[in-house]
Every structure is written in C-alpha cells, then in structure tokens.
Structure 1
Amino acid sequence: MQKMTGRVAIVTGASRGIGQAIAELFAAEGAKVVCVARTLNEGDHQLKGALASTVAAIKAAGGEATAVAADISSEAECLRLVEAARSAYGRIDTLVNNAALNYYIPTADYPTNRWIKAFAVNVHAPFILSKAVLPDMIAAGRGAIVNISSGSAIGPGRGPYKDQTVRGGVMYGASKAALERFTQGLAQEVAHRGGIAVSCVSPSRVVPTPGTVYHKLVDGLDDPRGEPPSMMARAALLLASEAAEKVNGRVTYSQQILKEFGWIDKGVGRGIDATGSGYSQI
C-alpha cells in the first residue's frame, strides 16, 4: 500500500534538488502535492529546474500535483500559498519546509537586507506555514511537519581555531540551528494533540544538486562523495508517514533514520560515523 494515500502535502523549494525529489516521491506514494518555489518555468532562474518541470514529471508518472509560485520570505505569500493549496486539494496534513536561501558572504560584509531575507525564508517561513496548516492537522487528528536542516547547523566549536578559512556560512548555519530548535519546541507543543509529528532531517552527506554545485560544495552532480537526493526524499517520507509517537521531535540525518527504521541496511556520514548537532542527540 502507498504510504501517503489520501494525504495533501505542501513541499517548498520543489523546483529542483531535494525538494523536487521529495515532491516526486510523495506523489508516487499517493499524496496530492502542492509544489512551491519562486521559479515557475525553466529559464526563470539561472539554475536548471522549475515547478512546471516537477509537476510535469509527477503527472507523467501518474501522480497528482499543482504548482504555486511564491516568495515565502513574505508572510502574505505564505498565507496565499496555503489558501491555494486548500483550494486545490482541501485540508492539508503534510508540510515539508525545504526551501532555503544563503549567499555565502562573510558576516563582516553581509548586507543586512540579505541576512534578514535569508532568515525570513529559512526560519520565519517554516513558522508561518506551520502556524497556518496546524488548524487543519488538529482538526483531522493527524499531520506531519518535516523541516529540512543541514550539517551547517553544527558549529565550529570554541577556539582557538586551526582552520581559519572564512567560508561565509555563518548565517546559514545559524538559521538551520534555529530551525532545529524550532522543530523540537513545536513538537513538544503539539505532543498532547496526538497524531501530529514535527521532525527535522539533514543529509548525512552533501547532496549534489544544482544549488550545491553552483556554490561549489560538490564537484558536479555525480560527485561520489555525496548522497543522491533520493536518500533525503526517503527520509522525509519516513518522517511524514510513520506514527507520530515514533518520530515527533526527532532531529536526525537521512541515513541515520533510514537505517534505524530498516529502510536501508548500511549508512555512512553524519548521524552514523560522524557526530550530529546537539539537537540530534537529545
């Protein structure tokens, strides 16, 4: 039986990369998927990937999806997309907060407006969207909010620092650490409702995507040091479909959670042979 039959899912950042993989897998598992991003058509963004392409792939495979172009750094846009999702498919019971923004600029040079916008996408939007869909989940007595974090949430620790390379990842790491804390706080708040799970997952290894290639985090889409987007998609599916009492409040890593639940036999990377963030250990 498909794991997401009868479910309505919103997936942000679904135009490419991890978000696209999650949207396609959820649809293959029976969900009606609302795909959200800023890029509606190919050519609208410098990177390859667009909502139209994701939706077309889902429909070609026999799934159901609709595209909603939105800039989730805006509260009004977040609320508009939730209403568009309800208009398309009805009550929402699954939300994947995958969209993220960073510019990789050292803090001393970081434009304040870009810092604020990145936090709006990475932290404020997950809050606004979660708040907007929670009434649907509470009314239904079930729901799943899956937040997508990053190994960047793991800080460098205290000095002195042998590695003094400035990579410009402070904002991204700080926003992802905030997202992990938000996850566990919200998970505690909804625990008494029963049937609702709030969780967070990061890649065990860097995922080669158009974005990570552009930022030179990997050497191409076939970099053997990375893990395929499908690994994160399966981890998100697990967190969205398992019983709430098994996954609520989990901050974890793709291969760690898949191995723990027997979805894969072996795993590598963060959460398995490397330490995860503090939130993943409590």
Structure 2
Amino acid sequence: MSNRRGTPLAGKVALVTGSARRIGRAAALALAEESAHVITHARSSVAEIESVADEIRAAGGQATALLADITDEAAVERLVEEIHERVGRVDILVNNAAIRSERALADLDLATFRSVYTVAVEGAFLVTRALVPDMVARGGGRIVTIGGVSAHAGAIDRLHVATAKSALIGFAKALAAELGDHGITSNLVVPGRIGGKRSATSGAGGRFAGDRGPIVNREGEPNDVAEVIRMLASPAGGYITGQTIHVSGGLYLP
C-alpha cells in the first residue's frame, strides 16, 4: 500500500472477489487506502487472502478475509450470512473473480468453457443478487465488474474468456438500468494487457486480432486498473453508471 490515505470511504465495506493477487489485490489495497473496510476473497487460497488482509491491517486499515465458492448458490448465501455477522453489510462490490486461460478452439472442451463462464458470469450474478437487497434498503451502493479486452478486440485462443467477458458487458449495463433509482451505480472496467505474475493457466497476456500493442508502449500494471475502481467506488464516481471503461493504454480504441 502507498502512504496516501484518505477517508472518502470511511464507514463503507467493500467486497473484492478474487482478491488474492493481481487486479483483485490491487483493488483491495486501493479501497483500503480510502478507509473502506475491505473483505478479501478467494475460493480456496486462504493464505493469500490473509496476506492481503494483513497488508491492509499493517497500514492501519480494516480487513476481513473470507473463502467462498461463488459458483455455489448455497456457498454464496453462507458468505453473505458471514459478512452480516462479521461486518454487517457490503456497500461496494467489485466482481473480479475469473478464470483466465488460453486454449485454441480445437482443444477447447465444454468443461473448460463452462468453468470460465460459470466463475465470471454466474459467480458475479450470484454475489450481486445476494448483496443488492441490502444496498437497496440503505439507499445506495457501488458495483464494479471487471471485464476483459478479449470481448472487444477479438482474442486468439480465448474464445471461452471472450464469451464470458462479453456477457458481463450486458450484465453491468442491465444492473445500472435496473438499480439507478435506488442510488446504486454499476460500471464495467476493462483491463488491457496487464503485466506482473500470472497464474499457470492464464498464458502470456492475450493475443488480439490486428494487435499492435498499447499506444502508450507499455504493459499496464494492476494499480492502473485499481485507480479506476477507486474512483468509481468513491463519491467522485457517483454520477457515472452503465459505462464500459477501458484501461488498456489504447490497446483497444472503442
């Protein structure tokens, strides 16, 4: 975490799904810097999310680490019950959890296709559906969903990822339309080619049709994406909803 600490999110609780590493971790740290109580989350890597939570606490912030398989409806219900018991509510939801892998169409089996879609889309749906009633009751909230440039630029060996991320475009817009009257914003943040350590299955970062690389001539960093999430979650982002915001250094130009 940086030494910059503000208080725009003091008293707010943020859940960042898939926050053990990379963009999820950076988002958790950024929201903690704004004084949100951050719930770090993973499906099974308890040591990693406890490490992120410990980093937040060491900098003077508040954090709670929770495990849950967000593709399991009963597990999501238990997660929300535990959140209610331990921190009371969620004001800010970052739907980040995803499986990113590379596999050519000829080698893409249905189980792999479904696993990617289920985590990214059904997981986001289940968590969002479970948390929105409390946001409605309190008169507001923020939902930030993490998309993927593969859904926009056409990715090689990532048909399954691009399909899932394409679904999230409509997901974020539909939420914005339905929940705006309740003071809840919903936006999609689309990272480009983000550097740093990747999982063993995620490949080299994606190859795109007509790929000429980012205009700014560098890979992005997780913090580049986290800064946009920070803004959307803050009071400064209160008049932004239903938008797809690309953080790609110009890799993709809408």
The TM-score normalised by the length of structure 2 is 0.86
Aligned residue in 2 for 1:68? 66
Q: How does 1:180-191 map to 2 (within 5 A)?
A: 180-191=169-180
Deviations, residues 186-217 of structure 1 (Å, cap 9, x unaligned) = 11011222x210111012x4111322785122
Question: Aligned residue for 2:213?
Answer: none
CA distance in 2, matches of 1:249, 1:113: 31
For residue 104 of structure 1, the aligned residue among 102, 105, 109 is: 102
Question: Structure 1 CA distance, aligned partners of 2:196 and 2:78?
Answer: 28
Asked if the contact 1:74/1:120 (under 8 Å) is kept, the reply is no
Q: Name which of 203, 206, 216 aligns with 2:193.
A: 206
Aligned counterpart, 1:163: none
* Residue equivalent to 1:264: none
For 2:250, the aligned partner's letter is G
Structure 1 residue aligned with 2:121: 123
When residues 155 and 233 of structure 1 are mapped into structure 2, their CA distance, relative to the original with a 3 A threshold, is closer
Q: After TM superposition, give the deviation of residue 86 of structure 1 in Å.
A: 1.8
Structure 1 segments of 4+ aligned residues over 6 angstroms from their partners: none
Pairwise CA distance, 1:242: 3.4
Cα distance in structure 1, aligned partners of 2:126 and 2:178: 15
Aligned residue type for 2:253: T
Superposed displacement of residue 245, structure 1: 5.3
8 Å contact from structure 2 (residues 225, 247) kept in 1:
yes
Give CA deviations for 1:90-149 in whole Å, capped at 9, x if unaligned.
021110000111332223322212221211111011111111111111011110010001
Within 5 A, what are the aligned runs for 1:34-113? Answer: 34-42=39-47, 50-113=48-111
Q: Which residue of 1 aligns with 2:165?
A: 176
Q: Would you say the 8 A contact 1:39–1:51 is kept in 2? A: no
> 1:5 — aligned with what?
10
Residue 177 of structure 1, CA deviation: 0.9
State the match for 2:34 in structure 1.
Answer: 29
Counterpart-to-counterpart distance in 2, 1:122 and 1:37: 13
Cα distance between partner residues in 1 of 2:77 and 2:152:
31
Q: Residue in 2 aligned with 1:247?
A: 240
| SS of match in other structure, 1:207 | coil
Which string of whole-angstrom CA distances, capped at 9 and with x for unpartnered residues, describes residues 70-100 of structure 1?
A: 2222222222222222221102111000011
**What code does the residue aligned with 1:269 have?**
G
> For the structure 1 residues 11 and 245, does the alpha-carbon distance in structure 2 shift closer, same or farther, using more than 3 Å as the test?
closer
Residue 41 of structure 1, CA deviation: 4.2
Matched residue SS, 1:246: coil
* Residue 227 of structure 2 is aligned to residue 234 of structure 1: yes
Using a 3 Å threshold, how does the CA distance of structure 1 residues 238 and 95 change in structure 2: closer, same or farther?
same
Q: Aligned letter for 2:184?
A: I
For residues 247 and 112 of structure 2, the distance between their equivalents in structure 1, rounded to whole angstroms, comes to 29
- 1:99 aligns to what SS in structure 2? coil
SS in 1 for 2:54: helix
RMSD value, Cα: 2.1
Q: How many aligned positions are there?
A: 238
CA distance in 1, matches of 2:220, 2:34: 21
Looking at structure 1, the residues matched to 39 and 46 of structure 2 have their Cα atoms a distance apart, in angstroms, of 16
What is the alpha-carbon distance in structure 2 between the residues aligned to residue 53 and residue 226 of structure 1?
Answer: 26
- The residue that corresponds to 1:275 in the other structure is 253
Q: How far apart in 1 are the matches of 2:9 and 2:167?
A: 29
Would the aligned equivalents of 2:76 and 2:127 in 1 still touch at CA under 8 Å?
yes
Gaps of at least 5 residues in structure 1 are 43-49, 157-165, 219-223, 256-267, 277-282
